[in-house]
Structure 1
């Protein structure tokens, strides 16, 4: 089976990046434009994330937060029934969607090719693919950044070397979250998202902020869960203004994403039932194995199917052609090389 490696091939904290301070819309006016991240972090708790303001926002949107938590619990239960392949499938789609917000704009099929076979990268998007693969791994593996070991968990999610003391940025973020520890984890996840974007100037800032927040927001339902944030748009990621305005957008965006994920799993279950009926007359082990692969991944290439099923390239291609003829899948690329297929969920 394809495996995710735990060593991201890039350094998300490289100093050889452009300064991102121009995007910090939520900073108060300051005549000094050259403050570094540590100077900003030192006063962030008192100036930008006061407990009483976020507590009041949580109370104002308690019903919306309860509705989101209920539907997220439904999603986690559904994922347990579908298996870990469904969680990975949603993670791939979440990262592809986040790319449209962060600027990487990588379709899920490109991420699948890179994660499963390490192919499909070019000189212009190799870093974007590395960030995307990192995000998929961290959404589906590793500890949630909660509890007494929050700093170590966050460091592990970020890919820091084992045994390395948490960075100043991680420590500052954990201090802020600890001061808000009585708030719901989804509320804390909104704070972490905005806080991380403020204190990290690297190109990986936006994707890291979303991944860390998704893992924190998903902690109540499952230790390995993540809260979808972008499957139905970006209202939570672009919300501005007061704590109430940002939390309102965060809950709205996450709830829409959770409902979109539930609908996707409904379509996937219906497709699986239809596919099993459609291929009942096909003999051998390859058709059901290929069916399981198409269920667990949003797109599948012939080399990937050959590796995952253990079948020959000829057998894989023959069954892919049969699945296409029977209306179960379609080919996405329309070209001769690096062809990929996806299930017609309908």
Structure 2
């Protein structure tokens, strides 16, 4: 006996046995893939691929081998040049690099002004307190102190932040959020151990900005971290990134090959600009020696060496460095200025500082 028809059934409805029961598991295939995991689900899932895969960077490094070689050679030449020079030359390059790194964040502070601040904590108007303080931190970290792998809290000079509601308004991660992102960053670096130190520094810079450890748009902190990683164990303890140009810092997007290409090119340019600065100072030394040939005594040549070693020099600093009286140091600096060898940078009548005029 046939079943009575459903009075509510539309002629356009499909018979129940013909419906596609999507919520039931499908038939087993002959070659099941138990490793599919979330990809076997019938709905879209989040992309679980790593945000930054060091294996891709290692492959890109091999593809950009020529550019890496050029950057490494330029850095090695600059490092070897500095081994034979006074320690002050390293400070000069550090101040130049920091000045251009700050310019990447929209802050323009001349290296001479930075030198005054880091040496005497002078010249810090109210609107520039934060930038100059950050520049002072960068100067100390580029030249020494704890490395980024020795503990990020100590390297950055941060203190653990208490857990309060105000943390939600911070422009950069703090507290547990920072600790979690820092652990992810260290994990990436641990997997990037096979990279060349210059490439690893680029990977560290990209990962730092990707995880947002310093907040959106920050350049100085990740650049200092990368510079220290790339210059470990050398006479020049940091990798120049921005002297003269900032190509390395612009390599923040694109594929790993595109990023490394810009990174290598920027480092090569920065090292060559640093080498040119050393040539400029060597030419000034020769010019100063010729201009002071008519003077006797040990003070003029000793003062030339002191000016080469210090980005800025006061009469008090010159007197202590050369071992002469304050009046003798001030008199010789005035003579240097008359002969076009130095220029005064403060514009003041007292507490004056000079730098080489090359």
TM-score, normalisation: structure 2:
0.73
Q: Does 1:300 align with 2:313?
A: yes
Instruction: Tell me which residue corresponds to 1:111.
Output: 114
Match among 208, 230, 234 for residue 242 of structure 2: 230
Instruction: Tell me which residue corresponds to 1:158.
Output: 156
* SS state at 2:278 partner: helix
Instruction: Tell me which residue corresponds to 1:139.
Output: 142
Instruction: Tell me which residue corresponds to 2:219.
Output: 206
In structure 2, C-alpha distance between the alignment counterparts of 1:102 and 1:337, rounded to whole Å: 33
Instruction: Tell me which residue corresponds to 1:244.
Output: 257
- Correspondence list, 1:1-346, <5 A: 46-142=49-145, 144-145=147-148, 150=149, 152=150, 154-159=152-157, 167-198=179-210, 199-202=212-215, 205-219=218-232, 222=234, 225-239=237-251, 240-306=253-319, 308-309=321-322, 311-336=324-349, 339-345=352-358
| More displaced 10-residue stretch of structure 1: 126-135 or 48-57 | 48-57
Residue 311 of structure 1 and its aligned partner are, at CA, apart by 4.2
Unaligned regions of 5+ residues in structure 2, if any?
Answer: 1-45, 160-177
Q: Between Structure 1 and Structure 2, whose CA radius of gyration is higher?
A: 2
Residue 47 of structure 1 and its aligned partner are, at CA, apart by 3.1
User: 1:285 and 1:118, CA in 2 relative to 1: closer, same or farther beyond 3 A?
Assistant: farther
In structure 2, C-alpha distance between the alignment counterparts of 1:54 and 1:271, rounded to whole Å: 43
In structure 2, C-alpha distance between the alignment counterparts of 1:44 and 1:209, rounded to whole Å: 26
Residue 109 of structure 1 and its aligned partner are, at CA, apart by 1.3
TM-score, normalisation: structure 1:
0.76
| Equivalent pair of 2:79/2:235 in contact (CA under 8 Å) | no
* SS state at 2:123 partner: coil
The number of equivalent residue pairs is 295
CA RMSD of aligned residues (A): 2.9
In structure 1, C-alpha distance between the alignment counterparts of 2:141 and 2:192, rounded to whole Å: 24
User: 1:256 and 1:306, CA in 2 relative to 1: closer, same or farther beyond 3 A?
Assistant: same
Higher relative contact order (CA 8 A, sep 6+): 1
Deviations 1:119-169 (A, max 9, x none): 111111112111111111111113555xxxx3x1555432357xxxx9444
Unaligned regions of 5+ residues in structure 1, if any?
Answer: 1-42
